[in-house]
Amino acid sequence: MQVQQDVPAGGSSPPPPLGGAATDAFNDNAAGVTNNDGGGSPPPPPHGQRSVPHSLLRRVQAPPASPRTRARTPLHELMVVPRTPALQTAEDALSLALLAMVVRTRPLVTTGMVLAHLTQHFGISMDRVTVRRTRPDDFIVRFTQRDDLELVLGTLSPEGAPFALCWRRWSRLIMGFAGAFRFRVLVGMKGIPSHAGSSETAQATLGASSAKVDIANPEV
């Protein structure tokens, strides 16, 4: 018995083959028919070469993908960074670090402004903290004393500040997100009695590892 699970479409379907008006335009051009687009006749192609009509080129050359389209394109390669002792040491060094995110109106904020914000509103001198920008609106703030970290983390945003910061404890998973990992897999099962060869039996056998089970070939 073979069972099959549903998956979402992994990518876009291949473009349809060129034909119809585009092919006819190419054949007309090859036969010596000139297609004017309001201007003068194009110069003849070099000897031994065929000229391709502009209408055909416009159909073949697709516009570049937008950033939103590229963001929806699934990744085709997964790279796993090995957990080395040096990587663990770097993570331990960030145990006294907070992630500061500019929120609300999100004005332009520099590392110097974050340092001045800590000094003015929390009384933390610059020799007890370092600030590094990680993204345009995110900063990694590393403290030398845990008391300073807890003070910043447990204090509401001060009133009258020119910008607002949201503070979170740093973690290697802080920028991660959760989502359903959907895929399709063909599973062959042996030893299933003939009268029990159903999707219910396959679902009970696979348990929580499968969301939906269909019999791929009921005749097998």
DSSP letter string over 146-167?
Answer: HHHHHHHHTSPPPTT-SSEEEE
The pLDDT of residue 149 is 95
pLDDT in tens, 192-213: 888 888 888 888 888 877 777 8
Asked if 118 and 193 count as a contact pair (C-beta separation under 8 A), the reply is: no
* Residue given tokens 């020119």 in the structure block: 162
Q: Which residue has the higher pLDDT, 142 or 214?
A: 142
The pLDDT of residue 77 is 67
pLDDT in tens, 53-99: 555 555 445 555 555 665 566 656 667 788 899 999 989 989 999 99
Q: What percent of the chain has pLDDT over 70?
A: 60
Rounded to an integer, what distance in angstroms lies between the CA atom of residue 139 and that of residue 151? 18
Largest CA distance in the chain: 84
Per-residue confidence at 44, pLDDT binned at 50, 70, 90? low
Rounded to an integer, what distance in angstroms lies between the CA atom of residue 115 and that of residue 94? 18
Q: What percent of the chain has pLDDT over 90?
A: 30
Rounded to an integer, what distance in angstroms lies between the CA atom of residue 106 and that of residue 128? 26
> How much helix, strand and coil, in percent to the nearest 5, is found in the chain?
30, 15, 55
The pLDDT of residue 180 is 66
Report whether pLDDT(147) > 50: yes
The pLDDT of residue 97 is 95
Query: What does the block give as tokens for 178?
Result: 């959760």
Rounded to an integer, what distance in angstroms lies between the CA atom of residue 57 and that of residue 19? 13
The pLDDT of residue 54 is 58
Q: Which pTM value belongs to this model?
A: 0.47
For the CA atoms of 194, 195, 196, 197, what is the dihedral angle to 10 degrees?
Answer: 50
Q: Which domains does the chain have, with CATH numbers?
A: 92-169 (3.30.70.330)
The pLDDT of residue 207 is 81
Rounded to an integer, what distance in angstroms lies between the CA atom of residue 44 and that of residue 89? 69
The pLDDT of residue 25 is 40
